[in-house]
Amino acid sequence: VQLQASGGGLVQAGGSLKLSCAASGTTFSGVSMAWYRQAPEKQRDLVASIRGSGTADYSYDVKGRFTISRDNVKNTVYLQMNSLKPEDTAVYYCNAGDHIGVYYRPSKYWGQGTKVTVSS
């Protein structure tokens, strides 16, 4: 499985960005996908996940501002980020995994990361 993330950049607080992650080498519609982020000197945290059916879950601190979606024809997962805050600054990674009940289980397959910087 190969994952190619893109769409990061520099944006002012209150602005928006849309990240994309293109997948290959897997039956995309059958896997769950997720976005994680890692700020400097912090652990990598789950931001949002989406099942093959399209059902999505979000972390508390992004719920209502971020939207994860997927296009099973283009084999791509997206993360629309609105009302960005300086604390959203991080490297964002996509992952192809699965769900165990309500919990997302990451696999060893990660995108290369795309950096998002939100200025105040």
pLDDT digit string, tens, across residues 42-94: 999 999 999 999 999 999 999 999 999 999 999 999 999 999 999 999 999 99
Asked whether residue 29 carries a pLDDT value surpassing 90, the answer given is no
Q: What is the pLDDT of residue 27?
A: 85
Q: What is the b/e burial string over 62-73, where b = at least 16 CB atoms within 10 angstroms of the residue's CB?
A: beeebbbebeee
User: What are the strands of the beta sheet with 66-71, ordered from one edge?
Assistant: 2-6, 17-24, 76-81, 66-71
How many angstroms separate the most distant Cα atoms in the chain? 41
Residues 6+ apart with CB under 8 A from 86: 13, 118, 119, 120
What are the distances in angstroms from CA 107 to CA 3, 37, 66? Answer: 12, 15, 22
Going by C-alpha positions, the residue among 48, 33, 35, 16 that lies closest to residue 98 is 33
Q: Tell whether the model's pLDDT for residue 15 goes beyond 90.
A: yes
Give pLDDT, residue 57: 97
In this structure, the dihedral spanned by the alpha carbons of residues 105, 107, 111 and 112, taken in order and rounded to 10 degrees, is: 110
The residue-averaged pLDDT of 7-25 equals 96
